[in-house]
Amino acid sequence: MSPHERDLLGAELTASPYEFLAELRRNDPVHWDEQQRAWLFTTYEDVAFGFVDQKLSSDRIRPLLDVVTPARRAELAPMLGVMSDWMVVTDPPVHTRLRRLANAAFRQQRIAHMTEWIGEIADSLLDDFVASGSTDFVSGVAYPMPATVIAKMLGAPEADKHLFQRWSDELALVAFGAGGDAREDRHRRALAGIADMQGYLENLIDEVTRHPGDDMISALLAGSGTEDRLTREELVALASLILFAGHETTTNLLCNAVVALTQHPDQLAAAYADREVLPGALEEVLRFEGPIKVIVRWVAEDFERGGKQIKAGDRVYLLVNSANRDEKVFADPDRFDIGRSGQPPHIAFGRGAHACLGAQLARIEGRIALPRILDRLPGLRLTTPVTWKPSIASRAVDGLHVDYDGRTVPALAG
């Protein structure tokens, strides 16, 4: 294997991708990865271009179905059929319409007014976490907080949120290209997860139709006051996308914030001393170790970039984690600095038509969670070395265990 060919899903790059990415930016910024069969765009400028240029399509499910064997297509189709309705993998005009309806429903939620109840959710989770003496930060805080928020926004009963994790985990295996499990097993599980989730959402939609409320599904059912409404299939697809996207990434953001802060004690100390630094710290976490590493696009039309001929039908990986460390944009990019100015901005939420729908919600959740985490968990520290999950798209820890001053060590069973 050439020195430049390294496995994005291998142990080395999963643990620490950044040196390799810097090497690519220096020597081969638009790089063909033979293993992934994709062009890697590694600079901020090229990634920003990739997000907005019309020659790059988000329609990345159908092309996948086109290139596989008929047998494989039959196997993948039921699962990918649902995901292919997700607006995240559509282009204008289909995307434009779905996104406009989703935007309206999100705006109607008035997330700026949610700070009080999101704070109550965080407080309650931290109460339980501290009372239990648990060290499992993912189960105790990072998973349930965004899951509870998105469940409430969708109008789902809070008690059902434990279901969401299972489905999201299954979906993430396919959507985020996670490594590890055998592909057939992964797809079978994802299919089961999707079938369960669809059934659940269809029941929820029926329930909400009978008893509309101020949740997003009610808003989507009502439409935005124009004649345009979603079909039932579109509504299930959109609700499932929001459910899936609405917590996996935010869970990872909260975990990555804890990792980054505890791994940089001087920054953690600054945060303990002054909560005002935390919004800036959150942005720096998004830049330094954001939850999304890669966004995938398909090439709709030939073009030249970085001296390379990019062909229609090629796949492109926008390496967000590389763009966010681009030395041409960020001074001392590998330094985690919570005091870093917000200019130039990171690109962790993307740009343009497909920019993260939930970006402001994620920011609000992070800004509410972080000070409470510090307030309730003094002397926060990790108890085990951090291991990252192998995944093309996601920067996610494989569990996160923390200790803090005054933790009540749980009594051992008799």
Binding footprint of another protein on the chain (CB under 8 A): 52, 99, 103-104, 106-107, 110-113, 279, 283, 342-345, 349-353, 355-357, 359-360, 363
Reading the block at residue 62, the tokens are 């159908």
Reading the block at residue 18, the tokens are 């950044």
Of the two residues 65 and 104, which places its CB atom closer to another protein in the complex? 104
**Cβ 110 to another protein shortest distance, Å:** 7
Minimal CA–CA distance to 24: which of 48, 45, 3, 9? 3
Of the two residues 130 and 353, which places its CB atom closer to another protein in the complex? 353
H-only helix segments in 115-160: 115-132, 137, 144-154
**Cβ 342 to another protein shortest distance, Å:** 5
Of the two residues 69 and 343, which places its CB atom closer to another protein in the complex? 343
Reading the block at residue 326, the tokens are 């681009």
Of the two residues 215 and 314, which places its CB atom closer to another protein in the complex? 215
**Beta-sheet pairing, 308-310 with 381-382:** unpaired
Of the two residues 140 and 358, which places its CB atom closer to another protein in the complex? 358
Residues 6+ apart with CB under 8 A from 190: 79, 170, 171, 173, 174
**Cβ 360 to another protein shortest distance, Å:** 5
**Cβ 106 to another protein shortest distance, Å:** 7
C-alpha 304 chain-centroid distance: 30
**Beta-sheet pairing, 315-319 with 303-305:** unpaired
Of the two residues 48 and 217, which places its CB atom closer to another protein in the complex? 48
CA–CA distance, 301 with 57 (Å, rounded to integer): 9
Of the two residues 300 and 353, which places its CB atom closer to another protein in the complex? 353
Q: Other CB atoms closer than 10 Å to residue 115's CB: what's the count?
A: 13
First to last CA, the chain: 55
**Cβ 145 to another protein shortest distance, Å:** 19
Phi, psi of 169 (to 5 degrees): -60, -45
**Cβ 347 to another protein shortest distance, Å:** 9
Of the two residues 36 and 360, which places its CB atom closer to another protein in the complex? 360
H-only helix segments in 211-231: 216-222
Q: Other CB atoms closer than 10 Å to residue 128's CB: what's the count?
A: 13
3-state secondary structure of 135: coil
**Cβ 291 to another protein shortest distance, Å:** 16
**Cβ 186 to another protein shortest distance, Å:** 32
**Cβ 301 to another protein shortest distance, Å:** 20
Of the two residues 134 and 224, which places its CB atom closer to another protein in the complex? 224
CA–CA distance, 144 with 137 (Å, rounded to integer): 10
C-beta separation of 8 from 16 below 8 A? no
